[in-house]
């Protein structure tokens, strides 16, 4: 009868069904000795390989995982699930040879000076002949017919079920030279031990994993062993209480798995809740850390910009004063109309530059606040009034939501006006014709005032949000101004112990929020300013 193509085998055959005894043992309370009662079942080894970690180790906690029970249940329910009758004479001999292979590997590990997870080693030995096991379940013909196909079936199956590299290498790379296999992801110690154990004639007769004429000196040397260390290795004996009954013939096995699955899931729910809570806490902490670092970097960047702006303003002001003075002198002596017109243009531009430099200096080195007790509502209404021309030109609707009672605040009235005017102008310039700007005052905590300023403009593109408070970065594609209002508002807010924030939103209005402390003692404010400086 023709042999199936290895790809067909890997795709069609599901993981082999473990024995009835293995499944019953798994449904019982898992202890430190449970693995010793399960490790002789190759089919269970194939299932455990799907849950193996990326490092070569085996944790008995894997046996408690609800996913393992769920996987077994699904395998039993599959009409084409693979099954090998280990009680048949041929497979009884092969199973004993597989136990012999794992036993010899364990004995070699015991003689090594390096630390090796011997449970992981045993698992690797049991799944090493996966290609032959798959072929056997698919088509019970003599193994001599499968030799060419076994490695292909093993490789495809292991990749499909996401085996870690160290287990995949045990199933597909044992015939390769040790150094080549290690380069391909094999664990150096486990792979060397499996190669050394596999050349035992009794093992090789049933599982020809490695050519008998292979030079294994490199593998042996990697473990620090000599040929004498590999003599007199113990032979395997039949596993105690081994039973190979087919679980599909037990009518109550599926209900038993269902009950076990519910219990295992219920057992981990508190742990999952605790882990989710811890994960939420770590995420929040990470977000705070990122926000704090971004704030620190932004503060440092703006401080550097402020220092540069102050120096540049000073250097520009000096020659500007000379230009302006000379232009005024020439204007007083000139009689030619065309020349007078040119000089007047020069003076207008010098005045414009001086005005820009004054704004820049207010951002770079604002004067110390002259703190008085004031009503922020009155300043806000005055700021709205000062921008009335722009509001009328664009036919904007201004909505002001303020409390009826005064809001006590200590601060510099002129700087408060500058902050609010800058934020309002930013919103009004961004709003479309016949658009709207909303201002809302609230006290979210007992000692802080929040002034929210929203507009229905196009919003701030994500790629310029990090530059919102950079001087002269205007974002004119969003309809906003020349780029000094927001940086100056931010700078003055910091001087008052507050902040200016932008709340990114994919939908809805654009919002900037000015936060200011209420009734802050002057000594505290000044100390904060000194720390900020």
CA distance 423 to 420: 5
Average pLDDT over residues 351-369: 80
CATH architecture of 372-532: 2-Layer Sandwich (3.30)
425-470 confidence digits (pLDDT tens): 989 998 999 999 999 998 866 688 999 999 998 888 877 777 777 7
Q: Hey, where are the domains in the chain?
A: 6-239, 292-364, 372-532
DSSP state of 467: G
Using the predicted structure, report yes or no on whether residue 286 has a pLDDT greater than 90. Answer: no
The confidence score (pLDDT) of residue 479 equals 39
The confidence score (pLDDT) of residue 80 equals 75
pTM above threshold 0.75: no
CA distance 262 to 251: 19
The confidence score (pLDDT) of residue 495 equals 87
The confidence score (pLDDT) of residue 198 equals 93
Q: What's the helix, strand, coil split of the chain in %, to 5?
A: 60, 10, 30
- 3-state SS assignment for residue 437: strand
The confidence score (pLDDT) of residue 117 equals 93
Tokens representing residue 189 in the block: 């110690």
207-249 confidence digits (pLDDT tens): 999 998 889 999 999 999 999 999 888 887 777 778 888 898 8
The confidence score (pLDDT) of residue 362 equals 73
Identify the residue with better confidence: 94 or 143. 94
Instruction: For residue 10, give the H/E element and its range.
Output: helix 6-12
CB–CB of 485/423 below 8 Å?
Answer: yes
The confidence score (pLDDT) of residue 81 equals 80
Percentage above 70 pLDDT, the chain = 89
Tokens representing residue 447 in the block: 């000692």
Average pLDDT over residues 256-271: 89
Average pLDDT over residues 174-192: 94
CB–CB of 130/158 below 8 Å?
Answer: yes
Using the predicted structure, report yes or no on whether residue 474 has a pLDDT greater than 70. Answer: no
The confidence score (pLDDT) of residue 521 equals 44
Average pLDDT over residues 412-433: 91
Bridge partner residues of 438 (DSSP): 399, 454
At residue 345 the predicted structure's pLDDT band, cuts being 50, 70 and 90, is very high
382-403 confidence digits (pLDDT tens): 999 999 999 999 999 999 988 8
Helix axes 42-49, 66-77, angle to 10 degrees: 120
369-378 confidence digits (pLDDT tens): 899 999 889 9
At residue 519 the predicted structure's pLDDT band, cuts being 50, 70 and 90, is low
The contacts of residue 123 (CB under 8 Å, 6+ apart) are 39, 45, 48, 49, 52, 58, 167
Using the predicted structure, report yes or no on whether residue 406 has a pLDDT greater than 60. Answer: yes
Identify the residue with better confidence: 272 or 427. 427
CB–CB of 50/71 below 8 Å?
Answer: yes
Using the predicted structure, report yes or no on whether residue 146 has a pLDDT greater than 50. Answer: no
At residue 514 the predicted structure's pLDDT band, cuts being 50, 70 and 90, is very high
The confidence score (pLDDT) of residue 520 equals 53
CB–CB of 378/402 below 8 Å?
Answer: no
The contacts of residue 119 (CB under 8 Å, 6+ apart) are 35, 39, 57, 58, 60
Average pLDDT over residues 128-156: 70
Within 10 Å of residue 82's Cβ, how many Cβ atoms?
A: 21
The confidence score (pLDDT) of residue 302 equals 72
The confidence score (pLDDT) of residue 138 equals 65
The confidence score (pLDDT) of residue 529 equals 47
Using the predicted structure, report yes or no on whether residue 12 has a pLDDT greater than 70. Answer: no
The confidence score (pLDDT) of residue 320 equals 87
Instruction: Lowest mean pLDDT of 36-40, 146-150, 250-254, name the range.
Output: 146-150
Q: Tell me which CATH code domain 6-239 carries.
A: 1.10.3210
Identify the residue with better confidence: 475 or 502. 502
Average pLDDT over residues 276-286: 88
Using the predicted structure, report yes or no on whether residue 112 has a pLDDT greater than 90. Answer: yes
The confidence score (pLDDT) of residue 140 equals 55
Instruction: Lowest mean pLDDT of 49-63, 99-113, 422-436, name the range.
Output: 49-63
Query: 348-352 long-range contacts, Cβ below 8 Å, gap at least 24?
Result: 350/320, 350/323, 350/324, 351/324
Using the predicted structure, report yes or no on whether residue 108 has a pLDDT greater than 90. Answer: yes
Average pLDDT, the chain: 84
CB–CB of 407/449 below 8 Å?
Answer: yes
Instruction: Lowest mean pLDDT of 237-241, 491-495, 513-517, name the range.
Output: 237-241
């Amino acid at each position: 009868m023709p042999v199936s193509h290895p790809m067909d085998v890997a795709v069609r055959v599901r993981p082999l069904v473990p024995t009835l005894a293995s499944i019953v043992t798994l449904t019982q309370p898992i202890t430190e000795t449970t693995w010793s009662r399960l490790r002789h079942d190759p089919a269970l080894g194939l299932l455990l390989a799907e849950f193996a970690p990326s490092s070569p180790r085996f944790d008995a906690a894997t046996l408690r995982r609800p996913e393992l029970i769920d996987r077994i249940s699904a395998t039993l329910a599959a009409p084409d699930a693979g099954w090998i009758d280990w009680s048949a004479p041929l497979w009884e001999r092969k199973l004993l040879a597989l136990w012999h292979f794992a036993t010899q590997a364990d004995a070699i590990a015991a003689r090594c000076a390096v630390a090796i997870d011997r449970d992981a080693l045993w698992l690797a030995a049991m799944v090493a002949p996966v290609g032959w096991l798959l072929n056997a379940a698919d088509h019970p013909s003599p193994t001599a017919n499968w030799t060419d196909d076994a490695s292909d079936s093993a490789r495809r199956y292991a990749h499909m079920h996401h085996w870690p590299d160290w287990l995949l290498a045990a199933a597909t790379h044992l015939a390769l030279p040790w150094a080549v296999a290690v380069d391909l992801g094999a664990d150096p110690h486990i792979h060397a031990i499996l190669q050394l154990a596999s050349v035992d004639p009794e093992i090789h007769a049933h599982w020809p994993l490695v050519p008998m004429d292979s030079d294994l000196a490199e593998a042996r040397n990697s473990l620090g062993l000599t040929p004498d260390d590999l003599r007199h290795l113990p032979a395997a004996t039949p596993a105690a209480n081994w039973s190979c009954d087919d679980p599909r013939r037990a009518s109550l096995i599926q209900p038993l798995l269902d009950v076990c699955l519910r219990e295992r899931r219920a057992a981990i729910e508190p742990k999952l809740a605790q882990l989710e809570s811890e994960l939420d806490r770590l995420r929040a902490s990470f977000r705070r850390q990122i926000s704090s670092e971004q704030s620190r970097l932004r503060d440092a960047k703006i401080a550097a910009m402020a220092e540069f702006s102050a120096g540049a303003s000073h250097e520009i002001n000096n020659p500007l004063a000379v230009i302006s003075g000379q232009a005024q002198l020439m204007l007083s002596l000139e009689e030619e109309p065309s020349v007078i017109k040119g000089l007047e243009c020069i003076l207008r531009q010098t005045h414009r530059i001086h005005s820009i430099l004054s704004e820049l200096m207010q951002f770079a080195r604002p004067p110390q606040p002259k703190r008085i007790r004031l009503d922020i509502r009155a300043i806000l209404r005055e700021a709205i009034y000062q921008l009335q021309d722009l509001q009328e030109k664009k036919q904007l609707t201004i909505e002001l939501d303020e409390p009826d009672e005064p809001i006590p605040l200590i601060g510099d009235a002129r700087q408060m006006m500058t902050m609010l005017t800058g934020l309002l102008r930013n919103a009004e310039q961004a709003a479309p014709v016949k658009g709207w700007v909303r201002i809302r005052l609230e006290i979210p905590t007992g000692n802080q005032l929040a002034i929210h300023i929203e507009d229905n403009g196009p919003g701030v593109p994500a790629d310029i949000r990090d530059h919102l408070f950079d001087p002269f970065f205007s974002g004119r594609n969003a309809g906003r101004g020349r780029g000094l209002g927001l940086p100056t508002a931010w700078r003055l807010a910091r001087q008052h112990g507050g902040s200016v924030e932008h709340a990114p939103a994919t939908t809805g209005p654009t919002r900037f929020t000015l936060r200011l402390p209420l009734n802050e003692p002057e000594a505290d404010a000044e100390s904060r300013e000194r720390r900020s400086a």
